[in-house]
Amino acid sequence: METLLHAHQRTKMFGLHKTAGLIILLFLSCPCFAQTSITSNIPIFVIDPGGPEIPNDPKIPATFKISAEVAGSYSYTIGGTNTYQYEGTIGIEIRGNTSVQWPKKSYGFETSADVSLLGFPAESDWVLNACYGDKSFIREVLAQEMFRQTGRYASRTKYVEVFLNTEGSMRYMGVYIFMEKVKRGADRIVMKKLGETDTDALKISGGYLLQVGENEDMKWNSNISPNNNPSNPKPIFHVEYPKLEKYTNITNRDAQFNYIRTFVNNFEAALNGATPNDPLTGYRKYLNVDSMVDYLLLQEFTKNSDNWRASTFFYKQRDDEGGLLNLGGPWDFDKSMGNHQWCYEPSVLPDGTWAWKFNTYCPDRPPLTVSWPEKVLNDCYFVQRVIARYKQLRLSQWSDANVLAFIETQRATLKGSVPANSAINRNFTKWNILTTGIMFNEHYTLAGNTHDKEVDYLKTWIQQHLAWMDSDIATISSLTCAPLPVTYNSFEVNKKENKVLVSWSTSAEQNNGYFEIQRSNDAMVFSKIGMIEGRGESASLVKYEFTDDRPLSGINYYRINQVDRDGTSELTRIKGITFKMNPLTPVLYPNPADHEIHLMDLTPGSKIKISDVNGNVIQKITVNDQYYNLPLHQYHDHMYYLTIDNGQKLKSFTFLINR
């Protein structure tokens, strides 16, 4: 057994700061539970590297299988006769920083070709997140969903159970979160490809995915020290895509590397210069402000102690795609939402401090964070957008009801409907750590701990934290900024007989001119359908209503455009409602489509058929729900015919793909 001294030396090598109790845990854990056969409500992955143990690097070959769904469940027996929905070969390796020290490992793997797994869009790079440090198994899934609810890309996730050939035999390894790896792609971070032969100025202006804090090839150090302290080591930026380290043409490699390094350095120079808030010469010249707003709010929603350091991704599209730096996709939330007490006690509490200030409270934590949040929050333009966006998200996507309902759905999935086949119970029988401290946290008890208690703790923490953010969002910056023209209290759309009632209320108004009600059938192109004069000046609750007398058949999307007396305006989030003259008529949207179409109000058991213009059948599907999401990654930009047969009647659509 490795000595405590050697363990401490190894944690120092990885830049970790852990208590002795945690170090002992890492090397005294004994997962002796042997599970040879399971039936589960979630898919089962079977991985066999054929003898060798999976290393941290490089990837080694392995066979990979996914159990088939039979009558709503999945099953696997070691050495038995099993059925699979997918079989192939992969390259696999251990992944992670802190997590590589834990006995239950996370893995990254790559399929031999782009393939759709568990309904995700076809790709080749995937992650199996062991979720050892988060005993609720929900924090990562919740964070990804909340960012996706902002309308931005976040890794798709599904719970799975894993069997792995390790230590000479096939073994049950527990529940994992199957995730998309953050990368460029048509269904991931959308930006044009950048390759080794690309040399002209337009092509090398974008297509870069970067990461903060990864000390790998093709990296450089920021010119800016955190906390405005020149003695502090400077953060590292690493080019994740394209894989510049694999280029053989050094001239082209250096041209691309120097371009993106110069652009990021110029962004930081503007952010820290004499006129950082100037809309033409300051940081806004380089940064997609709205992406920064959403990303910062996600980090504050989760109070993520890893934010703005390791696992922070950002990217730059080409100039003809916008050409600005964007934050995301988000990653690594096991140390968030009250789960990890980093450096100082308030970091784990649901109130009292903002997550972006961690670097102020813990200035020597490695690797050091970027100074971006502190700088942009010194601009009233940015601060007002943060406050307005937060209040907008809290109206619906990030409301207590939506967040808690999502958590409960994940709890139900992990528990399953049959206690004897509970995936989460199997996991904690294999890894008996419910009453063992993994993350340093003084604020929840481990005695008699259960998975349900972990989920309840998370729910309570989230509710308390969001309540604090609701009351203190104005203190996210030390600036005293002019009040927002309108503070919304609610925004709803509801059916009223054969009409749609659009209602909203404000808790404060200043210099408010009027509200313009807008409607769309595709959530992209909106038209004005009405106008209501605002109160102008108000510090009390004001309620407004507008009736849409002639709603569209299908989904109606609504938003409010609030216009100040000086002509400036601000949009609310979008809310949709299905309105059909015939409630049995299925709905297809959007049309034209790009990457996917949605079908609503289906009769379970309906058969869907997609054909091309020549009548050739492209795809057949049987749906078991009232809603179906159809990915279009395998389709070309053409017209297609879609028919729905519910056994009693046929419904036909013509849809166009236009990317």
pLDDT at residue number 90: 98
Same domain, 48 and 169: yes
User: Is 490 within a domain?
Assistant: yes
Give the SS3 label for residue 173: strand
Domain count, the chain: 4
Same domain, 467 and 497: no
User: Is 371 within a domain?
Assistant: yes
Mean pLDDT of 638-652: 87
Residue type, 297: L
579, 605, 622 — which closes off a domain? 579
Mean pLDDT of 522-546: 88
Cα(260)–Cα(208) distance, integer angstroms: 7
Q: How confident is the model at residue 14 (pLDDT cuts 50, 70, 90)?
A: very low
User: Is 6 within a domain?
Assistant: no
Q: What CATH number has the domain bearing residue 649?
A: 2.60.40.3080
Cα(212)–Cα(314) distance, integer angstroms: 8
Element holding 256 (H helix, E strand): helix 250-271
Same domain, 97 and 244: no
User: Is 262 within a domain?
Assistant: yes
Decide which of 482 and 641 is more confident.
641
Indicate the DSSP class of residue 549.
S
Same domain, 309 and 394: yes
117-126, 264-273, 498-507: which range is least confident on average? 498-507
Task: Tell me the three-class secondary structure of 441-482, residue by residue.
Answer: CCCCCCCCCCHHHHHHHHHHHHHHHHHHHHHHHHHHCCCCCC
pLDDT at residue number 554: 78
264: left (phi over 0), alpha (psi -120 to 50) or beta: alpha
Same domain, 442 and 507: no
Mean pLDDT of 484-491: 81
Percent of the chain with pLDDT over 70: 93
Q: How confident is the model at residue 24 (pLDDT cuts 50, 70, 90)?
A: very low
User: Is 17 within a domain?
Assistant: no
Same domain, 180 and 312: no
Same domain, 531 and 605: no
pLDDT at residue number 17: 36
343: left (phi over 0), alpha (psi -120 to 50) or beta: left
The answer to whether 622 and 608 have CB atoms below 8 angstroms apart is: yes
User: Is the pLDDT score of 198 beyond 60?
Assistant: yes
- Residue 578 phi, psi (nearest 5): -85, 130
β-strand 486-496 against 499-509: which pairing, if any?
Answer: antiparallel
- Look at residues 38, 6, 48, 12 and name the one whose alpha carbon lies nearest to residue 24: 6
User: Is 5 within a domain?
Assistant: no
Q: How confident is the model at residue 436 (pLDDT cuts 50, 70, 90)?
A: very high
Same domain, 256 and 352: yes
Neighbour-count burial for 613-632, b at 16+ CB within 10 Å, e otherwise: eeeeeeeeeebeeeebebeb
Query: 304-337 pLDDT, tens per residue?
Result: 988 888 889 999 999 988 899 999 999 999 999 9
397-401, 442-446, 557-561: which range is least confident on average? 442-446
Where are the extended beta strands (E) located within 68-115?
A: 74-77, 84-95, 106-115
User: Is 136 within a domain?
Assistant: no
Cα(581)–Cα(532) distance, integer angstroms: 28
478, 494, 517 — which closes off a domain? 478
543, 561, 579 — which closes off a domain? 579
β-strand 607-612 against 617-622: which pairing, if any?
Answer: antiparallel
pTM of the model: 0.75
The answer to whether 652 and 643 have CB atoms below 8 angstroms apart is: yes
Same domain, 433 and 516: no
Same domain, 403 and 512: no
User: Is the pLDDT score of 637 beyond 70?
Assistant: yes
Where are the extended beta strands (E) located within 130-168?
A: 157-166
Cα(589)–Cα(600) distance, integer angstroms: 9
Q: How confident is the model at residue 365 (pLDDT cuts 50, 70, 90)?
A: low
Domain residues for the domain of 390 are 189-478
Same domain, 376 and 295: yes
Q: What CATH number has the domain bearing residue 518?
A: 2.60.40.10
User: What are the start-end ranges of the H helices in 284-379?
Assistant: 289-302, 358-361, 372-376
The answer to whether 228 and 204 have CB atoms below 8 angstroms apart is: no
- Look at residues 503, 522, 502, 515 and name the one whose alpha carbon lies nearest to residue 597: 522
User: Is 319 within a domain?
Assistant: yes
The overall average pLDDT reported for the chain is 88
Same domain, 181 and 215: no
Q: Tokens at residue 176, please?
A: 């994992």
Cα(339)–Cα(335) distance, integer angstroms: 5
